[in-house]
Amino acid sequence: MIVLKEGEALGWILKAGWKGVCPRCGKGHMFKSWLKLADKCESCGLDYRFASPDDGPAFFSLCIVALPLIFIVVWLEVAFTPPIWVHLFTSVPLMVAGCVLPLRPIKGWLVASQYVNKSREAGTDALWAQLHGEERKPD
Ligand SMILES: [Zn+2]
C-alpha cells in the first residue's frame, strides 16, 4: 500500500492514472480493457466499485483536447481552403485520435483522484466503508 505524505497526492494521482495502475498499491492494473475498469486490483484487492468517473473522461477530453483541435481544423479550412479529401486524411483522424486517446489517462486520473481524496457520491458511505473495511461513522 502506498502511503502518501503531504503534497505527494497530486503527483501520485497523475502517475497512477497515466500508467493505469492501482491507486492503493501501485502494482495491480486499474483497467481490464481499454476503458473498462477491473473489478478488483489483482495485487491488493482494491474493489473498484467505488469508482464512478461517469461522463468525466468524455467531458474533459472534449474540453481540453477536442476544442483546441477544432480551432486547428477551422484554421486549416480558412487559411488554405483545401479540398474535402484533405480533411478526410488530416482533420478526421486528428479529431478521432484527439478525442479517444486521452480517455484512458483521464479516466485513470479521475479514479485515482477519487480514491486518494476518498470522494464518494452522497449516500454511499456504507458501501465505501464496506469496500475498505472501515467502520461506518454514525450519521
Ligand atoms: Zn492494488
Q: Is 84 exposed, middle or buried (0-12, 13-18, 19+ CB in 10 A)?
A: exposed
Cα 29 to ligand 1 centre (Å): 7
Q: How many CB atoms lie within 10 A of CB 37?
A: 19
pTM for the structure as a whole: 0.82
Cα 39 to ligand 1 centre (Å): 11
Cα 72 to ligand 1 centre (Å): 40
User: What pLDDT, in 10s, does the model give residues 49-103?
Assistant: 888 888 999 999 999 999 999 999 999 999 999 999 999 999 999 999 999 999 9
Q: Could you tell me the residue ranges of all domains in the chain?
A: 9-126
